[in-house]
Amino acid sequence: MTRPRKLYVKSFGCQMNVYDSHRMADMLAPEGFAETAHIEDADLVILNTCHIREKAADKVYSELGRMRALKAAAARDGRRLTVAVAGCVAQAEGEEIIRRAPVVDLVVGPQNYHRLPGLLARAEREGAVVDTEFPVEDKFDILRAPSRAATRARGVGAFVTVQEGCDKFCTFCVVPYTRGAEVSRPVIKIVAEVERLADAGVREVTLIGQNVNAYHGEGPDGAAWTLGRLLERVAELPGIARLRYTTSHPCDMEASLVAAHRDLPSLMPYLHLPVQSGSDRILARMNRRHTRADYLKAIARMRAAQPKMAFSSDFIVGFPGESEEDFRATLSLLDEVGYAGAFSFKYSPRPGTPAADMPDQVPEAVKSERLYRLQAAIDRHQAAFNARCLGRSFEVLFEKTGRHAGQIVGRSPYLQPVQVMAPAIMIGDIAAVTITDLGANSLFGALAETRIDADAMLMEA
Ligand code: SAH
Ligand code: SF4
Ligand code: F3S
């Protein structure tokens, strides 16, 4: 019998890449590739890359420097190491990657993962293969399902891509170019995938897409279904205790999605709704297609439907032309919404996007100073939200063993990590936990002694 070849996939960037990395491993499993946790043992390394900011893209080239040494070490052992670059840098830079880093054998864009076995065979024969086409066939039809063992090993929560690509063209963003036009998967395909995951023990499913609430996949009735309708259908599947979705755009908060938050107990009351800026002038220059008031209205509709909702967001500071006054509008929006958490980034000019060519770029020092102030405000909000959780009880879905012996870690409905002294056999279970202490990055809790009604455990805004 031939030795199974070892595969190491390293993911950068967003949850789409995490999902895609799993799909690539699943595609290669029947070809005799077993995943390894040790990069030094690998016969094939796939770097699944992100192009969203300059720093993210730079990481790839420093990683490829390491690959050169690894490839040489493998050759000394009489082994061949194949290096593939996948993801959004692959799509954006294509052949340029091989020119800059000849250690790379294969460059494959996100729309071509279903072709991996053939591309790899060619790369091993000829070297330097690049595939960044947008093919006509549907990759989801050809991609392979994970084995039950692989699903189990990946844990109790899983991502399922329901929508890919973006037609919004925010002026700072590379996603419409690296992921292409918006495409939604049909409902029956998604339902079948979630059923398979549930069957292997998955308890929480996050439906993902770059613009997930623009979902408009074909339903079993032939009509285009909204995300709200899809969530309602997926919520019916036995075994799935929790549902989430990400990432949403403020312009696509359709009525059925708002209603789903009111009607579906398994839909977690937590929404990541990126706003990017609190200034209308900057939002217009960003081509966000919504104003500050539109955004606040979307939040208010959600809160009216589900008073226990909490929110998070993404912010960009130092977008071209951003004045101190614009930036203060972002700080005041933060206070107006009262986020449970948020991500913030310095604007990074990306080649080929309109904002990169805008004349009034903000100096680096100003960006750094604003990021510092914004992060301090976000930290304050997050600490305040966490402090409100102290003494309350939440349902926690336990995911893995904790840092200390006897501890296990799970997530609250609001995605906060919660550390609890409890037996490892409870991993995969949902139990009521009373929050007893606040840590820097997680909450500490104890299993609640009496049964509590799940809904009574959520936070009133
Ligand atoms: N589809 C999502 C997320 C896209 S990328 C949305 O519509 O918001 C994730 C986050 O990266 C964005 O929300 C944005 O805050 C940030 N981002 C995107 N392009 C960026 C750039 N050029 N510079 C800095 N941050 C950027
Ligand atoms: Fe990028 Fe804007 Fe599309 Fe989000 S909505 S992926 S930020 S272009
Ligand atoms: Fe990065 Fe591509 Fe995701 S650019 S954020 S990996 S869609």
- Domains of the chain in start order, with CATH, are 5-131 (3.40.50.12160), 139-385 (3.80.30.20), 393-459 (2.40.50.140)
Largest CA distance in the chain: 69
Q: Ligand 1 mean position to 212 CA, how many Å?
A: 14
Q: Which atom of ligand 2 is nearest to the CA of 167?
A: 3
- Report the separation in Å between the CA atom of 96 and the middle of ligand 3, taken as the mean of its atom positions: 19
Q: According to the model, what pLDDT value does residue 57 have? A: 86
Residue 211 CA: which ligand 1 atom is closest?
1
Residue 88 Cβ < 6 Å to ligand 2: no
Distance 291 CA to ligand 1 centre (A): 17
- 3-state helix/strand/coil string of the chain: CCCCEEEEEEECCCHHHHHHHHHHHHHHHHHCEEECCCHHHCCEEEEEECCCCHHHHHHHHHHHHHHHHHHHHHHHCCCCCEEEEEHHHHHHHCHHHHHHCCCCCEEECHHHHHHHHHHHHHHHHHCCEEECCCCCCCHHHHCCCCCHHHHHHHCCEEEEECEECCCCCCCCCCHHHHCCCCEECCHHHHHHHHHHHHHCCCCEEEEECCCHHHCCCECCCCCECCHHHHHHHHHCCCCCCEEEEECCCHHHCCHHHHHHHHHCCCECCEEECCCECCCHHHHHHCCCCCCHHHHHHHHHHHHHHCCCCEEEEEEEECCCCCCHHHHHHHHHHHHHHCCCEEEEEECCCCCCCHHHHCCCCCCHHHHHHHHHHHHHHHHHHHHHHHHHHCCCEEEEEEEEECCCCCEEEEECCCCCEEEEECCHHHCCCEEEEEEEEECCCCEEEEECCCCCCHHHHCCCC
Query: Quick one: pLDDT at residue 225?
Result: 98
Distance from residue 60's CA to the centre of ligand 3 (Å): 13
Q: What is the mean pLDDT of each run of 10 residues along the chain (461 residues)?
A: 85 95 95 94 96 92 94 93 97 95 96 95 91 86 84 89 96 96 96 94 96 97 98 97 97 97 97 98 98 98 96 98 98 97 97 97 98 98 96 94 92 96 94 94 88 64 53
Check if 17 has its Cβ closer than 6 Å to any atom of ligand 3: yes
* pLDDT recorded at residue 403: 85
Please give the pLDDT value at position 417. Answer: 96
State if residue 173 touches ligand 2 by the CB under 6 angstroms criterion. Answer: yes
| pLDDT for the residue 154 | 86
Residue 87 Cβ < 6 Å to ligand 3? yes
Q: How far apart are CA 126 and CA 408, in angstroms?
A: 48
Q: Is the CB of 290 under 6 A from ligand 3?
A: no
Which residues are 184's β-sheet partners?
A: 163
Q: What is the number of the ligand closest to the CA of 49?
A: 3
Give the closest ligand to the alpha carbon of residue 350: 1
- Give the atom of ligand 3 at the shortest distance from the alpha carbon of 56: 1
Ligand 3 pocket mutation pick from 9, 11, 16, 58 by most atoms within 8 angstroms of CB:
16
- Chain-centre distance of CA 451, in angstroms? 33
- The confidence score (pLDDT) of residue 451 equals 63
Is the CB of 273 within 6 Å of ligand 2?
no
Rounded distance from Cα 377 to ligand 1 centre (Å):
19
Regarding the beta carbon of 241 and ligand 3, being less than 6 Å apart is answered: no
Cβ–Cβ under 8 Å, residues 60 and 90: no
Are residues 70 and 44 in contact, defined by beta-carbon separation less than 8 angstroms? no
Ligand 1 atom closest to residue 353's alpha carbon, by position in its atom list: 22
Is there an atom of ligand 2 within 6 Å of 97 CB?
no
Nearest to 29 by CA among 44, 13, 14, 47: 44
C-alpha closest to that of 415 among 343, 346, 352: 343
CB of residue 51 inside a 6 A radius of ligand 3: yes
For the Cβ of 289 lying below 6 angstroms from any atom of ligand 2, the answer is: no
CA 325 to ligand 3 center in whole angstroms: 30
169 Cβ closer than 6 Å to some ligand 2 atom? yes
Which amino acid is present at 394?
Answer: F
Q: Indicate if ligand 2 lies below 6 Å from the C-beta of 176.
A: yes
Per the structure block, which two tokens stand in for 184? 């939604």
Q: Which residue has the tokens 């999605």?
A: 257
